[in-house]
Amino acid sequence: AQRTLAIIKPDGLLGNYTDDIKRTVSEYGFSIVEEQIVQLDEATVKRFYAEHSSKSFFSSLVKYMTSGPVLVMVLEKDNAVADWRALMGPTDASKAKITHPRSIRAKCGLDTEKNCVHGSDSTKSAQREILFFFDELAPD
Ligand code: ATP
Ligand code: MG
């Protein structure tokens, strides 16, 4: 089986979407291998999202991701990376409501930034991101 890193972002956690999301996760055949609630600080978010550091939305993203605690999870199933991305829906939650109404972002997110959940975008990212949060765990 494959592993991916999922994050329920501050709006998801504070909006009480956690139980709903976890139910969906298990309905779709993922198992939660690790989970941890963390309050991220600026430096940690900047490191995690380093690839976006030159983007116009970077400082806003850092503010959003430090605005409250997040739930970080390692999810496992066959094809976990792509399947979790599909289940999350598109980045822009406001569009997701129209094009992917059953997706998690459609149900829990708000817009392009406040989109409630994160998922690794490749197996390589998954490996980096899982190590980032859970040191000794790595996919495959
Ligand atoms: P996808 O890769 O499908 O676009 P993602 O969650 O990986 O989804 P990224 O483009 O990697 O999105 O961006 C990381 C995060 O930064 C997004 O999930 C979102 O919270 C925020 N973000 C992305 N684009 C914007 C934007 N144009 N304006 C504000 N915030 C954004
Ligand atoms: Mg991404």
Examine the pLDDT at 5 and tell me if it is beyond 70.
yes
CATH code at position 80:
3.30.70.141
Q: How far, in Å, from the CA of 58 to the mean position of ligand 1?
A: 10
Domain-embedded: residue 24: yes
**113 CB within 6 A, ligand 1:** yes
Residues in the chain: 140
Domain-embedded: residue 10: yes
Residue among 18, 125, 76, 12 at smallest CA distance from 133:
125
Examine the pLDDT at 31 and tell me if it is beyond 50.
yes
Domain-embedded: residue 113: yes
Examine the pLDDT at 40 and tell me if it is beyond 70.
yes
Structure tokens at 3: 């592993």
The total domain count for the chain is 1
Q: Tell whether ipTM is more than 0.95.
A: no
pLDDT of residue 137: 45
Give phi and psi for 139, each to the nearest 5. -70, 145
Residue 52 appears among annotated catalytic residues? no
**103 CB within 6 A, ligand 1:** no
Question: Which residues, other chains included, contact 63 with Cβ-Cβ below 8 Å and sequence gap of 6+?
Answer: none
Give phi and psi for 44, each to the nearest 5. -70, -45
Question: Which residues, other chains included, contact 92 with Cβ-Cβ below 8 Å and sequence gap of 6+?
Answer: 111, 112, 115
Domain-embedded: residue 140: no
- pLDDT category, 136, cuts 50, 70, 90? low
Structure tokens at 52: 């976006």
- The model's pTM is 0.94
Domain-embedded: residue 48: yes
Residues spanned by the domain of 38: 2-134
Domain-embedded: residue 139: no
Question: For 62-119, how does the pLDDT look when each residue is reduced to its tens digit (9 = 90+)?
Answer: 999 999 999 999 999 999 999 999 999 999 999 999 999 999 999 999 999 999 999 9
Domain-embedded: residue 50: yes
